[in-house]
Amino acid sequence: MAKIYPFRGWRYNRGKVGDLAAVVTQPYDKITPAMQERYYERSPYNFVRLILGKRFPEDTEANNVYTRAREELLRWVREGILVEDRAPAIYVYVQRYRVPLDGSVRVRKGFLALGQLEDFGRGVIFPHERTLRGPKEDRLRLLRAVRAHLEPIFMLYDDPVFEVQAVLDQYIAEPPEIEVTDEYGVEHRLWPVYAHGAIEAVQHLMAPRPLVIADGHHRYETALIYRDEQRARAGRVDEQQPYERMLMAFFNLRDEGLAILPTHRLIFDVEAFDPGKFLDFVVRHFEVTRVPLEDFSAEALARVRARLAEEGKRRITFGLMLAGSAAFYLLGFRPTAETEAYYEGMTSLERTLDTAVLHRVLIERGLGVSEEAIQSERYIVYVREFEEGVRAVWEGRAQLGFFLNPTRVDQVYEMALSGRLMPQKSTDFYPKLLSGLVLYPLERFASIAAG
């Protein structure tokens, strides 16, 4: 049973931080070094100082990016920059945005609340993709230091008749308490809901629904590790303790406002890579169409991307570019007896997933890159922007690039409930949840800061 709880969130004090756009950020894993620098320049209270602070060569165990995040957090509480909400609430969260792939305008509705941490395998919360070691180690060190969940993770639930949203829609007729537009033009609005009746209705409606992690796998697994550490320290299990829950954002998978963008793969530093031999492998398993790239204008790249999307409606199709080549290859998958051997251990559902086929056939078999190497973040760089990936390959910053169509939301949900995991970075839900709107402490900040 999914357990959802209201909480007294901590938010920026609008009396002291007038312009929310100066302090909120994208999630930590989407912040580039250039973005980090811009965030630092915007405000001394920008949220980046908590979730992704600067590192310095002279850092020590006693003074580092994690300890500084803790010090900043408590200082902001002392100075009244962050204040606690007046009562426990759940928070209706609405985002209005343009889809980068086609420019259409969508509205995505959900809510923020605490979710009870559940071990995988208990039939309550399901992951959908594999994680990487580095981000988990980093987020665990931050959580141990700040003892707060600073950013929500993104959860999917299935509500075919929108019962949950019907309860919450009555609260969004009034102006939101928080309204801010981010650097991508996404409008974010937040309404706290304090009414006990509404909260209990949402809790009741959510209870029987399985939850799938759409975005935030590393942070969820980190929260489980931290919870187990605290249980061991206490010598008992008490599911009412703050560390037994974490901040989550919940969205109905039936919401037409949901969008997933593809995450492309750039391959680099593969030893003894032979483009000719690799292309020989490709033509054994794919129908190859060469699409010339006369230039790298937005119009030319849009035409290529449109071809990739159109072919992807008929069958699994990838885009391929090789370093220094002005050709873009469309690879239409053509299963063979040899491919069938590659599929060993894969379910019928996995065989319909672009990322699963890409990793098993082209990356593992075609390039010889093992799953262990992928886990260790060797050889692959993941990029969202199609144009960025194309230019990186053309300029020789990568040996080759694979370009994908987006995974569907229903595929994500079905895969998760089947107990199987997608390859890393199989999905990129857009837009991201804005960081800095509300946070959840695991201890009494005010008393600690005062002491």
Express each pLDDT in 89-122 by its tens digit. 999 999 999 998 788 999 999 999 999 999 998 9
* Alpha-carbon span 137 to 62, nearest angstrom: 18
* Alpha-carbon span 10 to 191, nearest angstrom: 14
pTM (two decimals) = 0.89
Q: Are 406 and 362 in contact (CB under 8 A)?
A: no
Where residue 243 falls among pLDDT bands split at 50, 70, 90?
very high
* Alpha helices, H only, 98-195: 133-146, 163-169
- Per-residue CA distances from 48 to 28, 187, 441 (Å): 8, 19, 17
**Average pLDDT of the residues in 254-260:** 95
Where residue 451 falls among pLDDT bands split at 50, 70, 90?
low
Residue 135 is predicted with a pLDDT of 86
* Alpha-carbon span 48 to 41, nearest angstrom: 11
Residue 446 is predicted with a pLDDT of 65
Does residue 300 have a pLDDT over 90? no
- Phi, then psi, of 352 in degrees rounded to 5: -95, -5
Residue 449 is predicted with a pLDDT of 67
Q: What region, left, alpha or beta, does residue 345 occupy, with left being phi > 0 and alpha being psi -120 to 50 degrees?
A: left
- Per-residue CA distances from 87 to 122, 195, 377 (Å): 32, 10, 43
- Each residue's pLDDT tens digit, 43-69: 999 999 999 999 999 999 999 999 999
Comparing 71-75, 80-84, 267-271, 339-343, the range with the smallest average pLDDT is 339-343
